[in-house]
Structure 1
Amino acid sequence: MGNKSTASMINHYNLASLPMLATIRYWWWWASHDLAYLERIEGTKGLDFDLVQSIAKDYGIARGIRKEKSDPDGSRNRQRAHIIADAVNRRRDGFTSERSLTDRFELCLEIVDELNRRSDAAEAITHNDFVSGISKLSWFVAPKSWTMFDRLAAEAIGVKSGSARDKATRFYQHLDDTGFVKLASDMRSALPDSDRFYPERIVDQYLWLSASQEENRPLVITKTAAFLDAIGDEKRTQLLRMAEIIETNFATDLAKLIPDTHKTSKKNK
């Protein structure tokens, strides 16, 4: 598209639509990050220490894992990553699509407690409550009908105060109450060729975009439009069609995830 302005890119690709923008941005992230992890887990049947360390870096949760100041060959840090992987893998069957989000979050808290609340504080594997980190790692072993807890996604539904546990509890309860699991299932049914692509994360991206600063939106759109320009006509057409399906069929349902009171408060700022 050359040196088109942001306004023309918005109009050309309909990137002013948050469902459109969320779908394209998550597909971009999925293709460059999540797909490789999901394929590897399919082969290994669970997380391993390499995956824990890589996912932690990609998702900004590495700081929540304790690190040895003196670990020249990295063996102690690998051991901690292995312990985290094992704690998640042992509960993989519990993260089933038949359970509510709040029930699955209880499993996350079991893992958090196992890793952090040891008799000797020096032996703790993670810092404080590794709530967001475990929600993210557990998604990779059971992505269907499950989603990650993220501070910005929670802020989109008005959950801003409290401890990580408290915010995550309210976040998942709200998603249960507003039909997240059914919405994700309906999206999967509507999208063609969605193998290993989980629209649950489109919802996550939609909430994240809803909570992000609107003054930053033009740059997000510019980057997304540049990505669409770069991937070629065939893939761009397929991806835009996918985004249009989400926008046409699920824009109203996505908007319902955000409480009216929170929408009003944002407008009045």
Structure 2
Amino acid sequence: MTDLADDLTSMAVIDAFKWWVNNDFEFLQRTEVLDATGQRTDNEVGRMDLSTFRDIADAYGVSRNVPGSPKDDVAGKILKKLSSPEMSASLLGSMCARKDKLVEFTRANAISVIYKETGRSVNRELASALSKITWFLRPEDWTVFDRYVGVAVLRRIGSGTMQMESFYDRLAPDFKEVSAAVSKAVVRHGFHPFLTNRIIDKFLFCHGLGMFDKKLRSHGKMTDSFVRASTQNDKLQRTSVKLHRSSLVASKLALGKHVSERLDGLAEEIRPILSAVSWTEPTPALGGR
């Protein structure tokens, strides 16, 4: 089958696998978390050079928040601090302990970004960027944070450390159990276990993407309007989700029948697991806007 079921789990599975083959597998090899054959190495925490840091930031769309220079001083300083024994040890902790240390690190290492368009200087906390960078140093028991997954879980807009704290606090009680159940299915269908948390991320991402509705404003431009009370059916009808699904249908077609059918089987098996978790239920917003 090359069709893509019209549900967010199927989209998440294809999207995660697409990122896995295009980016994530290679990056995990470059950080020496995986060896040349794709096996987990003995390095509890991976190693990262500046080139890999930059490539991950570019791939995940967060490079704009880490300005470069002839010597790449900003990224180099952040990476040096991130590679300290203290930070490396923090990546071995529980999700909440790891989150606490990352929030502390992010706040202590906010950077000043001058945007060329306006010349305005803004202090930015690299919450999303560092959650993603550190996943490639220690993928176990962790998922990434960004604007969309935060919205999906918290029903409020935000991308800074306060949103990040609440996001991980909400996930933490169920994350290990859900991840373990999904991982068994991932391995059973012949995929790498590290694909597990990428699927969870993409599941949350698709839910968050569907909470923004494109509206035509009076000045003639399209803008994203946040809709807190969004059911899964509402999300599937949103323009951004439909466009994303179309792209994934094309990706699935390129994978061929054998891989596509295995991914279909995986999606079918984990759908009830992800649907049973309360993370994306349409509950009232958890504080804030």
Q: How does 1:209-228 map to 2 (within 5 A)?
A: 209-213=206-210, 214-228=238-252
- The aligned counterpart of 2:194 is 197
| Inter-CA distance 211–117: structure 2 relative to 1 (3 Å threshold) | closer
| Inter-CA distance 145–253: structure 2 relative to 1 (3 Å threshold) | farther
- Contact 2:150/2:159 (<8 A) preserved: no
After superposition, give the CA deviation of every residue in 1:143-198 in whole Å (9 maximum; x if it has no partner): 11101111111111234256711111111111124x12221122112222443633
Question: Which has a greater percent of strand?
Answer: 2
| Inter-CA distance 259–67: structure 2 relative to 1 (3 Å threshold) | same
Q: How much does 1:113 deviate?
A: 4.0
Identity across matched positions, percent: 23
84, 100, 105: which is aligned to 2:78?
84
Q: How does 1:16-165 map to 2 (within 5 A)?
A: 16-42=6-32, 45-68=46-69, 71=70, 76-77=71-72, 79-90=73-84, 91-96=87-92, 99=94, 101-116=95-110, 127-161=123-157, 164-165=160-161
Q: How much does 1:87 deviate?
A: 2.4
Q: Name the CA distance, whole Å, in 2 between partners of 1:229 and 1:161.
A: 34
Question: Which has a greater percent of helix?
Answer: 1
Q: Name the CA distance, whole Å, in 2 between partners of 1:240 and 1:161.
A: 32
| Inter-CA distance 257–162: structure 2 relative to 1 (3 Å threshold) | closer
- Contact 1:65/1:127 (<8 A) preserved: no
Q: Name the CA distance, whole Å, in 2 between partners of 1:160 and 1:187.
A: 27
Q: How much does 1:129 deviate?
A: 1.2
| Inter-CA distance 163–232: structure 2 relative to 1 (3 Å threshold) | closer
Q: How much does 1:102 deviate?
A: 2.4
Q: CA RMSD in A?
A: 2.6
| Inter-CA distance 163–41: structure 2 relative to 1 (3 Å threshold) | closer
Q: Structure 1 residue runs of 4+, over 4 Å off? A: none
- Give the unaligned 5+ runs of structure 2: 36-42, 113-121, 211-237
Range with bigger deviation, 40-49 or 219-228: 40-49
Q: Name the CA distance, whole Å, in 1 between partners of 2:136 and 2:111.
A: 24
184, 188, 203: which is aligned to 1:206?
203
Q: Which has the higher contact order (CA 8 A, sep 6+)?
A: 1
- The aligned counterpart of 1:258 is 280
Q: How much does 1:31 deviate?
A: 0.9
- Contact 2:150/2:163 (<8 A) preserved: yes
Q: How much does 1:130 deviate?
A: 1.1
